[in-house]
Amino acid sequence: MLKCILFDLDGTLVNSLTVTFDGFNHAFQKFGGKLHSPEEIMAHFGPGEREIFGKVLGDEFGEPAQAAYFEYTRERLHEAPLFPGISEVLTECRSRGLKLGIVTGRGRESTKFILDHLGIYDQFGCVLTHDDLSSSKPSPEGILRALEILGEKPEDAVYVGDMWMDIRAAKRAGCRALSAGWDIMHNIALVEVEKPDVWFATPADFLSYLAAGMRGIPARKGSIRL
């Protein structure tokens, strides 16, 4: 029986990747680095922001580059809205009594100011970030810890994410892996290698699936497009 839904943040709930990429490049250049393509930046995803800057620019630039990135991102939060339809998804989840959580590779500070800006932080019973964990996705640590905090079992939960590491982490945790295919940077070829249980093209598709399948998530193999 479905009791809990855990979400990734960027590219799943929030249309924030363009601002994120621009923010990384702003900080890279400010501290002597080169411009990176979105694909090059995404290749570093997993560790938190400070760790990424330290790896690319050198450890001594990790914290100041992160601070520059935060400042830039805060100034452009108005350009990082919820994806159309996500508010309705969250409303449907709450109306059905589902427990909600977030497990993201972002650091704690940027996660908090994004969710506060959107006014949805308090809608989640658990928000875990890179700073709260010892290992990043595709490790299942974050998902398993979130479920422990929420008091639910993996078999009664799903994890929704847009990237291949989200799907792998969900499967390693023992819960259903649902693929969010609505961000412009979503790479379906990489995701399909991980065999998500269900693939959704839009939040509206996900909403329809929730409304129709609340007695449980069917045991399906491979990607399913609605």
**How is domain 4-15+81-212 classified at the CATH fold level?**
Rossmann fold (3.40.50)
Using DSSP, how many helices (H) and how many strands (E) does the chain show? 10, 6
Quick one: which H or E segment has residue 171?
Answer: helix 164-173
Distance CA 79, CA 135 (A): 30
Place of tokens 């601070």: 67
Q: Supply the pTM of this predicted model.
A: 0.91
Distance CA 61, CA 27 (A): 10
Distance CA 14, CA 222 (A): 25
The pLDDT of residue 211 is 85
Q: Is 34 helix (H, G, I), strand (E, B) or coil?
A: coil
Q: How far is CA 101 from the centre of its chain?
A: 11
Low-confidence residues of the chain: pLDDT under 50: 215-226
Give 17-78's CATH code, choosing from 1.10.287, 1.10.150, 1.20.50, 1.25.40.
1.10.150
Interval 21-36: pLDDT, tens: 999 999 999 999 999 9
The pLDDT of residue 1 is 87
The pLDDT of residue 212 is 81
Domain ranges of the chain: 4-15+81-212, 17-78
- The answer to whether the peptide bond before residue 138 is cis (omega within 30 degrees of 0) is yes
The pLDDT of residue 46 is 78
Place of tokens 């964990």: 133
The pLDDT of residue 176 is 95
Quick one: which H or E segment has residue 101?
Answer: strand 99-103
The pLDDT of residue 47 is 81
Interval 45-84: pLDDT, tens: 878 899 999 999 999 999 999 999 999 999 999 999 999 9
CA atoms within 13 A on the CB side of 146: 32
CB 209 within 8 A of CB 189: no
What letter would DSSP give residue 45? -
